Structure 1
């Protein structure tokens, strides 16, 4: 299985580090996020990676070259001309991923201990084109699921704004964990082009397709702010 790591973002919340570096190279206990996530996924047998780059992308490629790609096969989806966000970035990387096999997507600035083997097995068992890892934790935005863990909506907790596939019948709100398992059939379903968020596409597709959530209780830290680095260092040594 291949994994697409989203590492192209400007990481504005992680300033001043990202004024001169890509956020994927921010360190937690002295180890860059990108290195941690490559080794984390290697622990589940994943050694083929596609990494999208934009902001200080050459620093990422140089870092991996210096470390012999951590003995993995790594391809770069270089968005040098335009940062395409998660949905556009996925479409731009299609040539690396559309080979008939499921693949994993993970945000490079997420640190977690989700059991990827269990996650992939769940995805393959339900045989959908997209499965999203979610957990019951604080977040300003929540995805809404029915009793069968099928995506039915989205909610902004702070403003009360909602997008629903149908009337909210006590849907369960969970926070997205930044990890997806995808069947390449998704490339035939996405309608948007250019720069867009993959979540916007999921929220459209939930009206016609079944997108499942994989509920986990694992630790997860979004290392997007300087204070979250401190939080991550408590859990990831």
Structure 2
């Protein structure tokens, strides 16, 4: 099974830290954020990783290389101008192949057990949801008692930026910029989306302050 790490964004909210460093290479606990994902995906049984690049993407490639020191092959989908999430996935489909893949945002940190996404699942979309953080109190999607996802019901949880996807749901998208939310809502409307609630650690590294707080947690200071 393959996985994709989203790493092409500008990281504008993290400036000035991201003026010269791509956001996934920002460090917490002595390690770049993206390295936590690479190691967790490797340990979950993922065979190879696709990383999309945009802003300062050459620095990601120079730092991570081909994955030799991580024990998992890394390949890159270069976007130049970031294409948003769905557009980036569409661009990367030739590298991802035609089998379901795991997707994770490069600018989060979590203790979610990624082996749960390697297990076979029948739905084209399966999302990990978390409790709504203070900066996103209304959430994104409703999770039913039978683990189905709904867009038009309450209460809502927050999409964690982690999921398992069938590449076929992106195949008909036009090349270019495209957001993920419409793709997810279409799957929910067809009752083709399931989900699960992760109640453990999850950090959206959206501000320098949150990065500093995560660094203190991981460093034990």
Same fold (TM over 0.5): yes
How many residues matched? Answer: 216
Deviation at 1:235, TM superposition (A): 3.7
Q: Provide structure 2 residue ranges, at least 5 long, that are not aligned to the other structure.
A: none
After superposition, residues 52-67 of structure 1 pair within 5 angstroms as 52-65=52-65
Find the counterpart in structure 2 of residue 204 from structure 1: 186
Partner residue in 2 for 1:94 = 93
SS at match of 2:44: coil
CA distance in 2, matches of 1:48, 1:69: 13
Q: Do the aligned partners of residues 172 and 58 (structure 1) sit closer, same or farther apart at CA in structure 2, a change above 3 Å counting?
A: same
Superposition deviation, residue 216 in structure 1: 1.5
Two-structure CA RMSD over aligned residues (Å): 1.9
Could you tell which deviates more after superposition, 226-235 or 107-116? 226-235
Q: Identify if the C-alpha distance between structure 1 residues 45 and 67 changes in structure 2 by more than 3 Å, giving closer, same or farther.
A: closer
Does the CA-based 8 Å contact 1:52-1:79 persist in structure 2?
yes
Q: 2:21 matched to 1:6?
A: no
* Superposition deviation, residue 206 in structure 1: 1.7
TM-score normalised by structure 2 residue count = 0.89
**Distance of 2:198 and 2:160 partners within structure 1:** 9
1:130 counterpart (115, 125, 129): 125
Q: 1:41 to 1:236 in 2, by over 3 A?
A: farther
> Counterpart in 2 of 1:107?
105
Aligned in 2, Cα 1:66/1:96: closer, same or farther, shift over 3 Å? closer
Cα distance in structure 1, aligned partners of 2:69 and 2:124 = 29
- C-alpha distance after superposition, 1:141-197 (max 9, x if no partner): 3212333222211xxxxxxxxxx3xxx4xx331111110111223234x54542121
Q: Is the 8 A contact 2:48 2:72 kept in 1?
A: yes
Unpaired runs of 5+ residues, structure 1, are 154-163
TM-score (norm 1): 0.84
Matched residues in 2 for 1:94 and 1:32: separation? 26
Render the CA deviation track for 1:26-69: whole Å, top value 9, x for unaligned. Answer: 00022111112111222212241000001001100000129735
